[in-house]
Amino acid sequence: MRIIDEFDIGEIKVTVFKMNEKISIKFEYLLLEQIYKFRDGSGVDDVKDVKMFCSDETMKRINNIFNIMTSNKSESLMGMVSSDIIDEFDTIF
């Protein structure tokens, strides 16, 4: 797998990979990633196609997914912290 392009769209880093008959587009925001994979002939075959794929509408949807991922991560971590706090204390009868 080799990197064929990298660019930023706002706060999102976009990395384009090529391997065999596939293009992969990795979107990174903070410590989160989304990866979209395309086989040759699927409409995304080169960097020009990748940039067309990254339309304003597509990027809005990708941002929405990152927002959901961020929320899920935060809520899960908060659940872990609150259950750890409860487990630290002895049960009083």
CA distance linking residue 12 with residue 61, whole number of Å: 13
| Per-residue model confidence as pLDDT tens digits over 26-37 | 999 999 999 999
3 state SS of 1:
coil
Range of the domain at 28: 2-86
92 is a domain residue = no
Q: What is the pLDDT of residue 48?
A: 97
CATH number of the domain at 24, please.
Answer: 3.30.67
**Token pair for residue 23?**
């293009």
46 is a domain residue = yes
Q: What is the pLDDT of residue 78?
A: 86
93 is a domain residue = no
91 is a domain residue = no
CA distance linking residue 87 with residue 56, whole number of Å: 47
- The pTM of the whole model exceeds 0.95: no
67 is a domain residue = yes
| Per-residue model confidence as pLDDT tens digits over 44-90 | 999 999 999 999 999 999 999 999 999 999 999 888 876 655 556 66
How many domains does the structure of the chain reveal?
1
